[in-house]
Each structure stands twice: as structure tokens, then as C-alpha cells.
Amino acid sequence: MRRSRVTVAATLAFGAALLAWTLLPPLTVDGLWPYSPVASTSLIGHAAATLALLTSPVIIYPALLAAAWWASRRRFTAMSQAILVAVALAVLSTALLKVTVARDRPESPWDFLVSIDPLSYPSAHTTAATVAAMLAGVLTTTTRRPRRTVLLTRLLGVVAVVMVAVGRLLLGAHYVSDVGGGFLLGGLVVSVSCLAANVHMLPPQPARTGPGRLVVVYNPTRVRDLDAVHRLVTHETTARGWESPVWLATTAEDPGGGMARAAVESSADLVLVIGGDGTVRDVCAGLAGAGVPVAILPSGTGNLLARNLGVPLDAGRALAAAFTGTPTALDLLRYTEPDGGRSGIAAVMVGFGADAAVLHDTDEALKRALGPAAYVWAGRGHVRARPVPLRLTVDDGDPLERDASLVEVGNVGDLYPGVSLMPAASAHDGSLEVLIASPRTAGDVARMIGGVLRQSADEPLLDRLSGRVVVAEFAEPVLCQVDGDVVGEVRRVRLEVIPDAVRVVLPG
């Protein structure tokens, strides 16, 4: 997404203004406040002191960190990053500017309240208040709150900053130039942070691309704030001239396939799937061969397909890409137990052995709380190798026999950025990639993990193959996972690629 011109302009304006204000002789503006500090017994003074305590940076910045956590949990990842950067920049730049300018505070009867920090320029309180007020306005814009809410938030932010600045002057804690510098520094910090995180300070107006019909298939167990998602989608469709979207929730009995078929029957122009890899898989399976494009708004723990396809994990960016991206043919993977057992579709990968065991042992509550870190916790009990005799055939080739602890058959290969299990895997090449891990000891497991992280092509403990049809036969039942969902134990499985099965909208 392109950087906002408004944010760029704000960064340049606040930066130039702060530089000029800092270099300006203080006496030219400090006389604008001719009043002496209020007495320590004054009611107004006690009100200003209370306000100073409530708006202290040690209160505002932790509150902003909590807001960053709130935003990240609702997939406003860019906004969360902007807040984190803003807090770090505000703390560091305020301290640096204080030491650089080294201006002493004015004499005040409230010295007992402000003497902890003897340096005056810029006002840390005003900086913190400005950062909080501006970020609150940007947050309401990013989360598509009603216009009156956005305007009210901005108005209250201006009032709050003015009250904090006046309070500092009433207490004699600062000169006028100090609070002015604090305001300009706060504005610069927020502008730079939004620019770095590519967050628009004012909402962009998308081009009208409608009329069109959007069907949203969502997993209610994976959407943390459905109201926020409703606002995002409604805003985007309305701005683009599309019809009001149709919302279909998945259920335990129908995790997405039925909703996808219903979308096709209703002549949808686009299906937006909101959920994790399992929901995306079922919706894609339901759309296979239908020709209706599907877009992804990631809301799971792993989101491996979205990561591999380059779909943004930020909700706003993913939604914008859904309307502006390019429908691209995507392969799927069909797995079948030839002896009459399970069968189904995968979009990411099918795994046997160790990784399925880790997924089986991962606590759902812990996964919701810690995200991907929950898998690491569950993996502690699977460091030791547990090999099982395997006979594996790719296409019409000779069988490969190994004592395998882990077998992966993948449509895509990256687990996380920089960590690729199968570097050659592509969801667009009509082929499957196979990884066979054959460690015997815990040391072998460590070396194997190192080989994967280094993307080593000649790791002796790993076999890599590719083809259209894979048949895996184990000497004893092993756990199997499909796109992160454990489906039970298997002994013999046939896997084949379904080329160009579905069209997925990818960022341009």
C-alpha cells in the first residue's frame, strides 16, 4: 500500500516546525504567558497538579502499549506497530532533546511536584498528551468508527492537549516554548511512526469498482471483534459502490464448504473468507472449479497459506487487497486413504508424525493466548526422534524406504518469513513437494532443524522430492494433520495435486 501523502506532508511540516521552534530564542514566545505560577494553596493549582499526575508520561505510555496490544489482537497490525514505534520514539526523542537543549525549569512553588526532572525543554507531559491524542484519532480512523466518533475523538484530543499545556504553565513547570516544543515533537513522533508503519492518518478514498456482490464466509471462533470486521467490510464495499455484503458464519457441522457453494449459487462476484487455514481450505474446496474468486482476510494462528501467498496479515490491508488484487490460479491437494478411510482437500500441507503430534498436544486456550509460541511449548515433548518405517512412492518412481519421524507433503513451503520447510514448493506449479526427516537421536533432530533453518540442500537427514502423486505407507499408524488440523492416525495415504483448482485474489 502506498504511503499517504498527508502523512508525508505532516512529517515534513512537524519536523521543520520543531527545528525552527527549537532554534528560536525562547524570549520571543515565552512572554506570551505573563502570569505567575498559581500558589501551592490554590484550588486551581491543585486541579492542575491532579491533571499533571493523571496525564504523566508514565501513565500515558503504558496505556498506549495496551492500545497496541488491543489493536494487534484484532488484526490491526500496522496500527499496533505505529503505536509501538511512537511510544519508543517519544521516550527517546524527549530525553535526547532535553539533554541537548539543557534548559532549566522556571522557579515555581510546585517544585516538589516537578523537581524529579530538572530539565524543561520540551514538555514531556505535552509530548505524551499530543502523541496519545493524535494516535487516538488515527486509531478511530483505522478501525472505521462512525464519522461523528472520529470527529469527537479529535475534538477531545485537542481539548486534552490544551488542558495539559495550560496546566503545565499554571504550575510554572514550563515556559511557553517548552509546551510548544512538546506539541511539535508529539506531532512529529506520530507522523514518523505512521509513515514507518504505513498507516494513513486520514482515511483514503478507494476507487469505485462496483457494482458487485460480496459474500463473506467467516469463522466466528477465529474472529475476535466481529463488529470491527463489519465496519471494515461495510466501509470498503460502500466506498467502492458494491452491494451490501452477505455474511455467512461457519459451524462445527459445516466449516465452510456449504457456505462457499451457497455463494456460488447466489452469483457472488467475490468470496471473502475470514478465518484460519482450516476455514480457508474448506472454502477453497467448496469453490474448486466454480470460477468465483476468493480473497483471504487472515484470522487464524498460523495463516500459512496467506503468508506464503503474500496476503497481508493486517486486516485493513488484506481487505484493500481483496478488491484491488489479481485473481490467480491456485493448486489444491487431495488426500485419500485407499482402504476406504478418510479423504479430503488441503491447501497448505499434509503432515505425518512429529508435527501432527505437536499440533495434537497444543492447547487451544494457550494457542489463543500465545499464538504460534504455543506450538513451541507443545514441541518440548517431541524433541526425541520416534522413527517409523516408511515406504514412499512419487509418481511412477521407485519406492523410497526410510525410518521417518516426520513426512510433509506440501502445496506451499514457508512456515514463517525466513523459515522454509520446502523452499521449492509453489502453489501454482501443478506439483507437490515432499520432505522426509529421518533423525535417530535428539542431536539428529537439532541438526535437522538447523538444516531446515539454513535451507540446506544436502542435509543427510532430509530427503526432498517432488511430483504430482505421492503414496505414503507406514509400518504402523501415525498421526496425520491437514493444514494444521489433526485428523487422526493413518497407515496408507495417497496424495495428489489438483492443478489450478481455485482462483485466489493476490496483492498486485
Task: Return the percentage of the chain with pLDDT > 90, whole number.
Answer: 72
DSSP state of 379: G
Task: Return the percentage of the chain with pLDDT > 70, whole number.
Answer: 90
User: Binning pLDDT at 50, 70 and 90, where does residue 420 land?
Assistant: confident
Determine the pLDDT at residue 452. Answer: 62
Sign of CA dihedral 223, 61, 369, 484: positive
Q: In terms of Cα–Cα distance, which of 385, 508, 489 is closest to 437? A: 385
CA 173 to centroid of chain Cα atoms: 41
Determine the pLDDT at residue 327. Answer: 96
Which residues make Cβ contacts (< 8 Å) with residue 137, sequence separation at least 6? 150, 153, 154, 157, 201
Euclidean distance between CA atoms 275 and 260, whole angstroms: 14
Q: In terms of Cα–Cα distance, which of 409, 418, 394 is closest to 350? A: 409
Phi/psi of residue 41, each to 5°?
-100, 0
Question: Could you read off the pLDDT of 446-487 as tens digits, one per residue?
Answer: 666 666 655 665 667 788 999 999 999 999 999 999 998 999
User: Binning pLDDT at 50, 70 and 90, where does residue 378 land?
Assistant: very low
Question: Could you read off the pLDDT of 379-402 as tens digits, one per residue?
Answer: 455 445 578 999 999 998 999 999
Determine the pLDDT at residue 108. Answer: 87
Instruction: Print burial letters for 241-271: b (CB count within 10 Å at least 16), e (below 16).
Output: ebeebbbbebeeebbbbbbbbbbbeeebbbb
Q: How many of the other CB atoms lie within 10 Å of CB of 434? A: 21
Determine the pLDDT at residue 323. Answer: 95
Sign of CA dihedral 363, 364, 370, 375: positive
Euclidean distance between CA atoms 285 and 271, whole angstroms: 13
pLDDT at 501 over 70: yes
User: Binning pLDDT at 50, 70 and 90, where does residue 417 land?
Assistant: low
Determine the pLDDT at residue 342. Answer: 85
Set out the domains of the chain in order of their start, with CATH numbers.
Answer: 5-197 (no CATH), 214-324 (3.40.50.10330), 336-497 (2.60.200.40)
Global pTM value: 0.89
Q: Average the pLDDT over 34-47 and give the result.
A: 89
pLDDT at 377 over 80: no
Q: Average the pLDDT over 307-331 and give the result.
A: 95
Question: Could you read off the pLDDT of 114-146 as tens digits, one per residue?
Answer: 657 889 999 999 999 999 999 999 999 999 999
Chain-wide mean pLDDT for the chain?
90
Question: Could you read off the pLDDT of 161-196 as tens digits, one per residue?
Answer: 999 999 999 999 999 999 999 999 999 999 999 999
DSSP state of 104: B
